[in-house]
Amino acid sequence: MTKLLEAILIEGIESGNDVQIWRCPLPLPNALRAVNGYLMRGGGEVVAIDPGFHNEETIGTWERHLAKLSLRWEDITSIVVTHYHPDHCGLAGWMQRKTKAPVWISQETRNIMKNMWGVSEEFTPTPWEQVTMPTELSILFSEHGMPDSWGIRMMEHFHSFQELVTPQPIKAHCLDLVVGAKIELAGLAWSVLKAEGHASGQRMLWQAERGWMFCADHVLPDISPNISVLVNEDANPLETYMQDLQAAQHFQVKRAFPGHRGVITRWEQRIQELLDHHEMRLEQISRLVRECAPVQAWTLVPKLYNKIETDQQMRFAFAEMIAHLWYLECEGTIFSERKEASIWFS
Express each pLDDT in 314-324 by its tens digit.
999 999 999 99
Give first-to-last CA distance, the chain, whole Å: 47
* Residue 302 pLDDT: 96
Rounded Cα distance, 141 and 157, in Å: 14
* Residue 190 pLDDT: 98
State percent of the chain over pLDDT 70: 98
* Residue 269 pLDDT: 98
**pLDDT at position 217 over 60:** yes
* Region 278-289 average pLDDT: 98
Residues 119-164: tens digit of each pLDDT: 777 778 889 888 889 999 999 999 999 999 999 999 999 999 999 9
Find the angle CA(262)-CA(62)-CA(104) to the nearest 5 degrees.
80
* Residue 162 pLDDT: 93
Lowest pLDDT segment from 29-33, 158-162, 253-257, 264-268: 29-33
State percent of the chain over pLDDT 90: 87
- Higher pLDDT, residue 250 or 4: 250
Indicate the pairing of strand 203-207 with strand 188-194.
antiparallel
Nearest CA-CA partner of 175 in 45, 53, 86, 80? 80
Nearest CA-CA partner of 35 in 22, 24, 47? 24
CA dihedral 68, 261, 36, 117 (to 10 degrees): -150
**Cβ(188)–Cβ(197) below 8 Å:** no
**pLDDT at position 245 over 70:** yes
Lowest pLDDT segment from 74-83, 145-154, 224-233, 240-249: 224-233
* Residue 72 pLDDT: 98
Average pLDDT, the chain: 94
**Cβ(163)–Cβ(54) below 8 Å:** yes
CB < 8 Å & 24+ apart, contacts of 267-272? 267/213, 267/219, 270/219, 270/221, 271/219, 271/245, 271/246
- Higher pLDDT, residue 189 or 14: 189
Residue 2 binned pLDDT confidence (cut-offs 50, 70, 90):
low
Provide the phi-psi class of 282: left if phi over 0, else alpha when psi is between -120 and 50, else beta: alpha
* Region 251-270 average pLDDT: 97
* Residue 3 pLDDT: 63
- Domain boundaries of the chain, sorted by first residue: 8-273, 288-345
* Residue 4 pLDDT: 73
CATH number for 8-273 (one of 3.90.1150.10, 3.60.15.10, 2.60.60.20, 3.40.350.10): it is 3.60.15.10
* Residue 16 pLDDT: 64
Residues 35-71: tens digit of each pLDDT: 999 999 999 999 999 999 999 999 999 999 999 999 9
CATH top class, domain 288-345: mainly alpha
Domains 8-273 and 288-345 share a fold: no
Residue 212 binned pLDDT confidence (cut-offs 50, 70, 90):
very high
- Higher pLDDT, residue 144 or 306: 144
* Residue 11 pLDDT: 86
